[in-house]
Amino acid sequence: MSTPRTRLGLVAALLASTALLAMPAGGNAPPAPPVTAAVAWPQAQRGAVQATLDDGAEYRPGLFLDARTSIGTAASTDDRYLRLVRVAADGSARELRRLPRARHPSFQALTAAGDVLAWVESTDGGKLQLFTAGLSGAPAPRELTADLGRAEFYQSQYDLVIADGRVHWVAAAKGDVTQVRSVALTGGPVRTRSEPGTWKLSAYPWLVNGVNDTSGSTVLRNLSTGRDSPVRGARDRATTACSPAWCRMASLTAGGLNRIELMRPDGSGRERLAGDTAATVIVDVAPLDRFEVLSRIGPNSELTGNNELIAVEIATRRTVEISPDAGSVSYRGGMLWWSTGNLDAIVWHALDLRTV
């Protein structure tokens, strides 16, 4: 279920989507073409999943566990239910849950840690329920709680965070207050901690602010210590998105051109990463603290609506082409996946950045 703050949480990514790729310093020559991922990262694990299951149902992945194993949604063969299924490397599907389609269901905020899978279910009327299951097949799916409050999800890998034996999420409270909620993986009462301001979860135990602000993040807060770390060095009129390790800024140059930069939250190490027709395509900043994932207009973009998918290696500043023609792009926990093709023939591809 998309909430108003869900949409606001995507403001930074949408504003950054007009950012332009930088020309080489001191010249106007076009940048060298990127090396392909197959050449740059020959050891990286890649996989592909068909958009149709063996039973003929249309499949959309919501989480990849590795390059060939995913969890996602598909209608039942009689079209009466929406199923949450695990698709193995051989294409076989195992059903985890099903909800009547008449109730307009959704499965969202899928996340995994160790052998634990967690997700949120929603149906008519905005009712939310938090479920977990064992990735090995046991324990079976079970509800942890329906006390989620006004839960807020931002299409981030941190919408649900599994840490310290608990599942954590944020919810909106009255006024300018964010509730940080959690429940034990064994079940029980929900703990609630109120934080003035509008926050979202980042790498645990950190919160980041700026969800409702077009200027983006200005403070990181450590939930364990209560310590605030201000974001320094952001440009005026820039949209800044931060993790505990990196901040991404989208701003305008003095000449009216757009740019994407990366820096540490304390303002150090600022580097210009991108310009030209590049655009951010995922909410989370600097996956694995090693890459920045972008898209840019390709030769067939106007015809297909798809774009070139690239990654910039932060350590080397090398640009790597992941796909020349990517459609929908998602990221969770080191796994990057994207679609190719059109509505008549979609294929989902996955790249395990953890193996790079």
Beta bridge partner(s), residue 157: none
Supply the DSSP symbol for 87: E
Nearest CA to 298 out of 325, 269, 334, 263 is that of 325
Cβ-contact 98, 57 below 8 angstroms:
no
Nearest CA to 6 out of 118, 159, 131 is that of 159
Question: What pLDDT, on a 0 to 100 scale, did the predictor assign at position 161?
Answer: 99
Cβ-contact 220, 206 below 8 angstroms:
yes
Residue range 147-175, pLDDT digits in tens: 999 999 999 999 999 999 999 999 999 98
Question: What pLDDT, on a 0 to 100 scale, did the predictor assign at position 256?
Answer: 66
Per-domain boundaries in the chain: 4-355
Percent of the chain with pLDDT over 70: 90
The pTM (predicted TM-score) of the whole model is 0.88
Beta strand 278-280 with 291-296 is antiparallel
Q: How far apart are CA 151 and CA 178, in angstroms?
A: 10
For residue 198, report the phi and psi dihedrals to the nearest 5 degrees: -110, 115
Question: What pLDDT, on a 0 to 100 scale, did the predictor assign at position 4?
Answer: 42
4-355 has CATH 3.30.70 classification: no
* Cβ count within 10 A of residue 122: 22
